Structure 1
Amino acid sequence: MKYFTHGRGKFAILYFGFSMYLVISAQDAPANGVANGSQGDDASYALRNSAQHPASTMTGDWGGYRTYLRDRGIDLAAAWTNETAGNATGGDRRTAAETNQIAAIMDIDAEKLVKWKGATFNFTFTSRWGSNLITRAGLYTLQQPQEVWGRGQTTRLTGLWYNQKLGDHFSFKIGRLPTGADFDNVPCLTMVNYFCGATTGNMDGNRWLNWPVSTWGGYLKYNSPLWYLQAGAYEQNMRNLDNKFFLGYVHGATGALLPFETGLRLHMGPHRYPGVYRIGGWINTASAPDILLATNGQPAVTGGLPMLERGSSHGGYLWFQQQLTGTFTEKPGQDAVVVQGLTAYVTLTMVDKETSPVSSQVTGSLRYLGLPWRRHDAITLAVGTNHVNSRLATLEWYQAGKKGPRRNSEFAIETDYTIQFTPWVYIEPNVQFWVNPGGYTQRSTVTVVGMKTGFTF
Structure 2
Amino acid sequence: MDHSKAWRPMRRLSLLITLAASPAFAAYTQYSATAEERHDEMMAFFTDHTEATVPDSVQSWWDYKYMLGDGYYRDDLAKEGLTLSLKFVTDSLGNVSGGRDQGFTYTGSMGFDADADLEKLLGIEGADFYVSAVWRSGTSLSNKYIGNVFQTQQIYGGQNLRLYAFYWRQSLFDDQLLLKVGRIAQGDDFLSRPIYWSYVQNAFDGNPVSIFLNTPMYAYPNSTWGGFAKYTPKESDFFVQGGLYGGAKTPTQTRNSAHGLDWSFDYDNAYLMGMFGWRPGMKISGQSELPGNYSMGAYYVTGHFQQFLPAPAPPGTSAEVEGKWGLYWMFDQMVYSNGVNSNGDKTGITPWFVVSIAPDERVNQMPYSFYGGVRWDAILPSRKDDFLALGYVYGMFSDDFAQSQRNRGIPGQNFESVIELTYMIQVNEWFTFQPDLQYIINPGGAHQYSDAFVLGFQSSVQF
Could you tell me the TM-score, scaled by structure 2's length? 0.81
Aligned to 2:205: 196
Kept in 1, the 8 Å contact 2:310–2:407? The answer is no
Distance 2:132 2:432 in 1: 22
Kept in 2, the 8 Å contact 1:127–1:154? The answer is yes
Aligned to 2:390: 381
Distance 2:430 2:377 in 1: 17
Alignment of 1:35-434 (within 5 A): 40-42=33-35, 44-45=38-39, 48-49=42-43, 52=46, 56-63=65-72, 65-137=73-145, 139-150=146-157, 152-168=158-174, 169-187=176-194, 188-199=197-208, 203-204=212-213, 206-224=215-233, 225-238=236-249, 239-243=252-256, 244-268=258-282, 269=284, 270-271=286-287, 272-292=289-309, 296=313, 308-326=319-337, 338-351=345-358, 352-370=360-378, 371-400=380-409, 406-434=412-440
Instruction: Give the partner amino acid of 2:147.
Output: Y
Q: CA offsets per residue over residues 341-389 of structure 1, 9 Å max, x none?
A: 1111111112353222212211111111112242221111111111111
Kept in 1, the 8 Å contact 2:202–2:209? The answer is no
Distance 1:166 1:400 in 2: 57
Shift of 1:41: 4.2
Q: Residues 274 and 361 (structure 1 numbering): CA distance in 2 closer, same or farther, change over 3 Å?
A: same
Shift of 1:338: 4.6
Instruction: Give the partner amino acid of 1:277.
Output: Y
Q: Residues 337 and 233 (structure 1 numbering): CA distance in 2 closer, same or farther, change over 3 Å?
A: farther
Aligned to 2:21: none
Instruction: Give the partner amino acid of 2:246.
Output: E
SS in 2 for 1:438: coil
SS in 2 for 1:357: coil
Kept in 2, the 8 Å contact 1:278–1:320? The answer is yes
Shift of 1:156: 1.5
Distance 1:315 1:328 in 2: 38
| Cα RMSD after superposing both structures | 2.6
Instruction: Give the partner amino acid of 1:211.
Output: Y
Kept in 2, the 8 Å contact 1:118–1:166? The answer is yes
Worse-matched range after superposition: 65-74 or 112-121 = 65-74
Distance 1:297 1:319 in 2: 40
Kept in 1, the 8 Å contact 2:187–2:219? The answer is yes
Shift of 1:410: 1.0
Q: Residues 121 and 51 (structure 1 numbering): CA distance in 2 closer, same or farther, change over 3 Å?
A: farther
Shift of 1:246: 3.9
Instruction: Give the partner amino acid of 2:447.
Output: T
Q: Residues 407 and 59 (structure 1 numbering): CA distance in 2 closer, same or farther, change over 3 Å?
A: same
Shift of 1:408: 1.8
Distance 1:342 1:275 in 2: 11
Instruction: Give the partner amino acid of 1:229.
Output: V
Distance 1:82 1:195 in 2: 17
Q: Residues 293 and 400 (structure 1 numbering): CA distance in 2 closer, same or farther, change over 3 Å?
A: closer
Shift of 1:109: 1.0
Distance 1:337 1:411 in 2: 36
Worse-matched range after superposition: 201-210 or 182-191 = 201-210
SS in 1 for 2:364: coil
Distance 2:400 2:222 in 1: 29
The sequence identity of aligned pairs, in percent, is 26
Kept in 1, the 8 Å contact 2:164–2:223? The answer is yes
Kept in 2, the 8 Å contact 1:279–1:319? The answer is yes
SS in 2 for 1:411: strand
Structure with greater proportional strand content: 1
SS in 1 for 2:187: helix
SS in 1 for 2:144: helix
Unaligned segments of structure 2, at least 5 residues:
1-29, 50-63
Worse-matched range after superposition: 358-367 or 369-378 = 369-378
Distance 2:237 2:130 in 1: 27
Q: CA offsets per residue over residues 199-226 of structure 1, 9 Å max, x none?
A: 2576437511111000000112111341
SS in 2 for 1:443: coil
Kept in 2, the 8 Å contact 1:147–1:191? The answer is yes
Distance 1:109 1:296 in 2: 57
Instruction: Give the partner amino acid of 1:227.
Output: F
Shift of 1:112: 1.3
Q: CA offsets per residue over residues 95-114 of structure 1, 9 Å max, x none?
A: 11001111111101111111
Q: Residues 384 and 359 (structure 1 numbering): CA distance in 2 closer, same or farther, change over 3 Å?
A: same
Instruction: Give the partner amino acid of 1:242.
Output: R
Q: CA offsets per residue over residues 64-111 of structure 1, 9 Å max, x none?
A: x22211111110001001001110111222111001111111101111
* Of 439, 444, 452, the match for 1:438: 444
The number of residue pairs the alignment matches comes to 404
Distance 1:328 1:297 in 2: 63
Q: CA offsets per residue over residues 14-62 of structure 1, 9 Å max, x none?
A: xxxxxxxxxxxxxxxxxxxxxxx96734463465257536653212321
Q: Residues 251 and 422 (structure 1 numbering): CA distance in 2 closer, same or farther, change over 3 Å?
A: same
SS in 2 for 1:422: coil
Instruction: Give the partner amino acid of 1:455.
Output: V
Distance 1:299 1:257 in 2: 30
Instruction: Give the partner amino acid of 1:106.
Output: A
Shift of 1:257: 0.4
